Structures are given as structure tokens and as C-alpha cells.
A and B are shown apart, each in its own frame.
Chain A
Amino acid sequence: LAKTTQPISMDSYEGQEVNITCSHNNIATNDYITWYQQFPSQGPRFIIQGYKTKVTNEVASLFIPADRKSSTLSLPRVSLSDTAVYYCLVGRLTGGGNKLTFGTGTQLKVEL
């Protein structure tokens, strides 16, 4: 499984864009990149997933360069409620893999 490296923590203010970068140098050809959000005392929640280039949904964008050795989660105009831990996961859930392994995560703190 590809090991991931993320910043331990980040601070931001309401209304700003936040970019969290994850390094995954050993990503395999069949691996996907998935980000989860976790609030205290809750289970992680899926945010976004991508394989290459750019993916956007209603809450975030995911940028993946051509070599796929890193990825950046972009949260536009964060609010206090975006304060959470964000996990980058690399792997696949099919083809006998079925592994979902979390890295250390990034604690995002949003202030007024």
C-alpha cells in the first residue's frame, strides 16, 4: 500500500481557501486517491476521490498531477464547521485489495 504523508496541522480563517497536500510517492497504477473528513467522536466521512487530473464536487476539489505522486485537496471558502481532521488514502477497494488504510491525517482548524 502506498504510504501517504500530510501536514499534521493547518490553520485558516473563515472564507479562505484551504489546500492540503498529500504525498504518495509509491502509488500503484490501480490505486485511487480518496479523502475523508472526520469530526470528533464521529466516523470518517467521504469527501472526494480521484484517479488523475482534477475532480470537483459540491464540497471540494482534488488536484492530481500527471505523475500522481501527490494530490491536493482544495476546500473553497472554509467555515468554522470545516474544522476537522482530513485523511488522504491511497489504494483500491476492488480486485482483492479491499484495504482502507489511514495515514496520520491533517488537523484543520478554522477560526473567525
Chain B
Amino acid sequence: DAMVIQNPRYQVTQFGKPVTLSCSQTLNHNVMYWYQQKSSQAPKLLFHYYDKDFNNEADTPDNFQSRRPNTSFCFLDIRSPGLGDAAMYLCATSSGQTNTEAFFGQGTRLTVV
């Protein structure tokens, strides 16, 4: 059973039109991460939440925002997508209590037209 679920798997949006990607988890983990992965590159951390505490990476553009309304859900909002924002967006969770594994979703592939 999927433990980190990302919807949709594929998203097409228009240049400049706000888009929201969603992530849900059934693991009750404290920490949720959002990554951007472009073709042939490693995942790049955008930000993460520890419970309700938001931690933004210094080089994450302001165009990217996130919301975590409860433990199970986390959203990635791209306010004005540009062509350069086309990528795979990965959500991940970790317990925050132990140094074990992090669990990743299948990702949402975003296309900007």
C-alpha cells in the first residue's frame, strides 16, 4: 500500500497560471519534504516541515510556497510557473524521531506550456 501519495502523477499548467501539487501520507511522520528534480539531475530540496515548523532552503525561489494544514497533507504551490519550473516534484516523509529511512512518493511531473 502506498504510504506517500502524490496527486496528480502528471500535471500540465499554463505559463503563469498558479498550480498546486498535493502530497498525503499514512505514516504519521513529523517531517515532510518537497523536492524538485529536473532531467538527469539529483533531487533538490525546496523546503521541509517539521510538524508545523516551515524550513525554507535559502535558494528556493519565492515563486514556490508550501502549506501543511495537518499531519497528513502537504501542498506545493507554484504561484506563477515558468518554463524553467517544469520538473518532477517529489514529496517525502521521515519520522523525525529516528535516523531511519525517508519515504518518497512517486512524484508529480509538471509540464508548463
Contacts and interface: CB of A to CB of B under 8 A. Distances in A.
Contact of B88 (A41, A87, A98, A99): A41
A91 B43 CA distance: 16
Q: Which range contains the number of B residues in contact with the other chain? A: 20 to 34
Given A87-B42, A98-B50, A43 B90 contact: yes
Interface in B62-113: 88, 90, 92, 94-107, 109
Q: Main secondary structure on chain B at its contact with chain A?
A: strand
Interface of A is mostly: loop
Residue of A87, A92, A98, A103 most packed against chain B (CB within 10 A): A98
Nearest to B30: A98
Given A98-B50, A99-B45, A42 B106 contact: yes
B101 A43 contact: no
A28 B91 CA distance: 26
Interface in A59-112: 87, 92-94, 98-105
Interface of A: 32, 34, 41-46, 49, 87, 92-94, 98-105
Interface of B: 4, 31, 33, 35, 42-45, 48, 50, 55, 88, 90, 92, 94-107, 109
